[in-house]
Structure formats: C-alpha cells, structure tokens
Structure 1
Amino acid sequence: MKKSAFRKLIEDEIDDAAGNIMAKGTTSDDIAFGRLNVLLSLRRTLDNKTTPEDIGMWGAFNDILQLLRVLDGNETIFSGIEA
C-alpha cells in the first residue's frame, strides 16, 4: 500500500476513535483512548516524528509478530508500506 493512502486511512481511524471518545461512555472512552494512542504513534512514525516510546512500542509489536511467525525474521511491521 502506498504511504499516502495508508496515512489517509490512519487519519480516518484517528477521527473515528476521537469521535467515539466524545460520543460514548466511560468504558468505550478507555477503549477508544487506547486505540487512539496506537494510531497517533503510527501517524508520528509515518511522518518520521517518532518518540522513544513509539520506537519501543513498534519494536515490541514487530518482535511479537515475528515470534508468532506472522512476519518473517527479515520483515518488519512496516514492510508492506511503499513510499
């Protein structure tokens, strides 16, 4: 998937998660907030503005997916994104 199309998809997901925080109750707020944290981290990563926390989080996700053999050892979670 092209990076620009993927970023647009992420923006839509961020808007949706933020809307859920405003529209629903406490439990849904917590779920949407967790989702929003991951999506905002992903957007920063796509924009080359990662924080140390972002690097650690995506590294952990990547390691887990490799351990589960969802990704090959030479793949990363971002391998499918084209410039």
Structure 2
Amino acid sequence: MAIRIQLDRVLLERRMSLTELADRVGVTLANLSILKTGKARAIRFSTLDALCRELNCQPGDLLVHEPGPQATAGEDDADA
C-alpha cells in the first residue's frame, strides 16, 4: 500500500509509549499496534482526530504517501 503510518516516529519524538497513547485516545493497544506496524488497511477519521489531538500533530505528520507499483484490482477501494 502506498500510504504508510509513521506512528512510531511521532511517538519517539513525543517520548510517549504506545500504552500511554492507547489510554489517552481510548483505542485498544492491539489496534494501535496494528497501526504502528503498518498492517492497518483503514483508519477512522475519529481515531485520526484523537491521535492528532493527543500527539499535538497534523494528519500529515502521521500519514505518508510513498509512490509504488499500481494497486491491483480489488486491492484498494474504488474511487466514488
């Protein structure tokens, strides 16, 4: 996937643990771990909003687009 989440970098910059962030945001540690390791396929805007609020950052600080090969059919949602 061409979108990557840089949660680990932002946490390191803020000197905050994943456990502390989970408590502050109200998201399970397991779900934040999925985001951190890049295994997430989607993120809710409400979760992104809570992460930005607690980490005092912008969505662009967490999300990075890395161009790569075109997605195959069915890999990503259709534009609608």
Q: Report the TM range for the smaller structure's normalisation.
A: under 0.3
Q: Which has a greater percent of strand?
A: 2
Say which one has the larger Rg.
Answer: 1
* Structure having greater relative contact order (Cα 8 Å, sep ≥ 6): 2
TM-score where L is the length of structure 1: 0.26
